[in-house]
Chains A and B, each alone.
Chain A
Amino acid sequence: MTADRVVLGIESSCDETGVGLVRLAADGSVELLADAVASSVDEHARFGGVVPEIASRAHLAAMAPTMRRALDESGLELSDVDAIAVTAGPGLAGALMVGVAAAKAYASALGVPLYGVNHLGGHVAVDTLEHGPLPERCLALLVSGGHSQLLLVEGIADKITEVGTTIDDAAGEAYDKVARILDLPYPGGPPIDKQAKLGNPKAIAFPRGLTGPRDPKYDFSFSGLKTAVARWVETEQREGREIPVPDVCASFQEAVADVLTAKAVRAARDLDVDTLVISGGVAANSRLSELAAQRCAEAGIELRVPRPRLCTDNGAMIAALGAHVLASGAKPSPLDMPANPGLPVSTIVVQ
């Protein structure tokens, strides 16, 4: 009864409108068929961060064209789709609502089941498109403009538990704010990474947030780091000294990568898991992946990082999670399902 099934995924939680298609094989493996993304990032640049209403407007304009592109890329038609998955949360309320409403209409028109799934789970599930099935237990580190989380994954469609999270800013947010301090463009990740390669990561001793003996072991804090960078830059400016932007970037980036990887490896050891998945927009950061590779190798942990295109928000990750949920035999979500901006990570599929 389980022939190949095509699962369509719709993502609209932040500033990317994503539509992805995957094929779920009878053995439970998933294969990427299409991944179309429209981004409104350029419209947010002059505001220095995502403006929710601008993102929501862009989702409405991009939904049908992005769907068309995904279908063309896969050579399939909507009538070939066997199930639809959509990001039900977490994310921006108005943005999520566009994708959820669209998914309900597509699923109703096609007469296929609808799964409202968790965006964070999607960031983990996407790795199965690149590196095959996940082990029974693994740890996931999600880092982006919106997320900084350590998740214990015990079956991608079964059980995801938050082990640690940021108590203030997301890692990517800290990048954006430091970029602003240094007059670098938004989003801050790529320009800071580029500058950092030219600088000395030991030049400035920026603080490592929440790494004291009594601090929460697996939680993150990046607000103090951002403030430390701002203070350091202001002091130098006041003294009339030129700001060594590459050194500031390298030292800031080192502090971020150090804390993220140290906590991830420590959690993996403590929880006795031997696989770490790093995903989210900041996963593409060169120093983070380099340091993670080094520390995982030392600790005997297998490191899995999807290619950058899959790490950022997209529809393929939602289709991938939808496929695993479908394979698990989960009940579809009800058609009156709300978009949930605060959907807890433990809710993999909305029932």
Chain B
Amino acid sequence: MLVIALDTSTPAVTAGLVALDDGGPRSLAERVTINPRAHGELLMPQLLDVMTEAGHQLADADAIVVGSGPGPFTGLRVGMVTAAALGQACGRPVHPVCSLDAIAAQADVTGQLLVATDARRKEAYWAAYSGRTRIDGPHVQRPADVPTGDCTAVAGELADAFDLPVVEPRYPTPVGLVAAAEAVLGTEPAPLVPLYLRRPDAELPSKRKSVLTRGGK
């Protein structure tokens, strides 16, 4: 089957077309640009380039897999709404996968793996894996507070913030996204709910200040 893979949970704007057969997922074409401020501009043109290079139409894809984060909010939504709209317009299922799972799926590690990406505000989005199985997370915390005890390696954009051997990849890849979704492809898709992990910044209004006391009056 043919699977479109999208992820915008990190500064990498990722679009790919992946063939999935008995030999596992195989990339047919992909475009990845590192630009944290241009997800909305780059994603769709990149995907169309991918389809052209692979010699396929969007409607040829049998399914869409999209990284559901965790990731900084604005960029993350670009990938998710793009996937939702493509799925609706082409009549294809859209499967969300945790973006950290996609990184773990591509990492070549024996033992436990830590995956960490940049949550900004000096924090990391992280999860811990045994093989490809997520055993903790995803969470958002300061790197110093992340329990790394049993991990033997770290992958992901923020890997350098930890005192562990660093392994690739840094960002979710199309093949990693499809590998992480392999078990659920063909089943009823989960709801497209982003992993924000943080509440929106919003302050409740304080008690109204007296305008009469302003300006020393």
Chain A: residues with CB nearer than 8 A to chain B?
Answer: 46-48, 51, 53-54, 56-57, 59-60, 63-64, 67-68, 78, 93-94, 97-98, 100-106, 108-110, 180-181, 227, 230-231, 234-235, 238, 335-339
Contact = CB atoms under 8 A, between A and B. Distances in A.
B77 interface: yes
A106 B40 contact: no
B58 A108 contact: yes
B204 interface: yes
B109 to A, nearest CB: 33
A227 B217 CA distance: 14
Nearest to B38: A338
Contacts of A102: 81-82, 84-85
Interface string B197-211: 000111111001011
Contacts of B82: 101-102, 104-105
A337 B89 CA distance: 20
Contacts of B89: 78, 105-106, 109-110
Contacts of A234: 210-212
A235 B82 CA distance: 54
Interface residues of B, number: 40
Interface stretch (B43-51, B123-131, B143-151, B159-167): B43-51
A292 B205 CA distance: 34
B78 interface: yes
B74 A56 contact: yes
Given A105-B86, A234-B212, A53 B41 contact: no
Contact of A51 (B44, B200, B211): B200
Contacts of A78: 88-89
B59 interface: yes
20 contacts: A47-B202, A47-B204, A53-B73, A53-B201, A53-B202, A57-B200, A60-B81, A64-B192, A94-B73, A97-B40, A98-B81, A101-B43, A101-B77, A101-B78, A101-B81, A104-B44, A110-B89, A181-B208, A230-B208, A335-B45
A271 B118 CA distance: 55
B204 A46 contact: yes
Contact of A235 (B58, B74, B203, B212): B212
A7 B71 CA distance: 34
A93 B47 CA distance: 23
B41 A338 contact: yes
B80 interface: yes
A108 B212 CA distance: 57
Interface string B34-77: 00001111111101100000000011000000000000011001
Nearest 10 Cβ contacts at the A-B interface: A109-B89, A53-B200, A105-B85, A104-B44, A51-B202, A230-B211, A102-B85, A48-B205, A105-B82, A101-B78
